[in-house]
Amino acid sequence: DAGVTQSPTHLIKTRGQQVTLRCSPKSGHDTVSWYQQALGQGPQFIFQYYEEEERQRGNFPDRFSGHQFPNYSSELNVNALLLGDSALYLCASSLQGATDTQYFGPGTRLTVL
Amino acid sequence: AQSVSQHNHHVILSEAASLELGCNYSYGGTVNLFWYVQYPGQHLQLLLKYFSGDPLVKGIKGFEAEFIKSKFSFNLRKPSVQWSDTAEYFCAVNARNYGQNFVFGPGTRLSVLP
């Protein structure tokens, strides 16, 4: 039973560029949430997808957008990258968008130069 | 605004010492509470969770936590730590009235000396 997987593992971009991160949820899960974890801090909620729609959004600008596919996998897109976007981006999956346990992937380390 | 605070930024203990990590949250309604652990170089893993019922919950690796509703607290405990418990510990809250997202505390780094 595969857990949550994310790709790529590491990514280096320059300011102004755009990036796409990918996530496959744990088998049987239909809800994907994205978090940003800056160095030395706890994860901050970006948004959550269920039934291919954004259900809830945290306090992040519109430069952050996402998508969920029919197979429940998800993408996080960040446009016009800023130095402050450098962080570990975590994907978490759960069932049905309910207040259930979230299972986290290993994350994608994004460095913006 | 919703918030979760963790009392200590960095805790250093010797092996066999007892551990208690504090967590407080600021919600008035019904909450689900979690402790996650992040070992060096690994992803976040669930230690334990509280949804309802007995406020003392037991998790993996000998950890337990107690939910005290009147204090808005969910402290993590372990009677005797091991070197392998060295990790970052995060308290997280899901407030059912606020939707589906988790709000994490800033984390407590635990260093266990052999």
Please state, in angstroms and rounded to a whole number, the distance separating the CA atoms of residues A64 and A80. 9
B44: exposed, middle or buried (C-beta count within 10 Å: 0-12, 13-18, 19+)? Answer: buried
Q: What is the pLDDT of residues B15-53, one digit of tens each?
A: 999 999 999 999 877 888 999 999 988 889 999 999 889
Q: Which pLDDT does position B19 carry in this prediction?
A: 97
Shortest distance between the Cα of B44 and any Cα of chain A, in A, equals 6
What residues of chain A, 1 to 30, have a C-beta less than 8 Å from chain B?
Answer: none
- CA-nearest residue to A48 within chain B is B101
Residue A90 touches chain B, beta carbons under 8 Å: yes
Give the position of tokens 């919703």.
Answer: B2
Chain pair A-B, CB pairs under 8 angstroms? 57
Q: A31 and B100: CB-CB below 8 Å? A: yes
Q: What is the pLDDT of residues A17-35, one digit of tens each?
A: 999 999 999 998 999 999 9
Q: B43 and A33: CB-CB below 8 Å? A: no
Please state, in angstroms and rounded to a whole number, the distance separating the CA atoms of residues A92 and A24. 9
How do B19-21 and B64-68 pair as beta strands? unpaired
With bands split at pLDDT 50, 70 and 90, how would you rate the model's confidence at B98? low
Q: What is the pLDDT of residues B67-78, one digit of tens each?
A: 999 999 999 999
Q: From the list A35, A40, A56, which residue is nearest B100 (CB)?
A: A56
Q: B96 and A102: CB-CB below 8 Å? A: no
Output DSSP code: residue A16: T
Q: Which pLDDT does position B25 carry in this prediction?
A: 93
Q: Which residues of A touch B106 (CB under 8 A)?
A: 41-42
Q: A45 and B90: CB-CB below 8 Å? A: no
Please state, in angstroms and rounded to a whole number, the distance separating the CA atoms of residues A107 and A90. 4
Residue B107 touches chain A, beta carbons under 8 Å: yes
Q: B100 and A58: CB-CB below 8 Å? A: no
Q: What is the CA radius of gyration of chain B?
A: 14
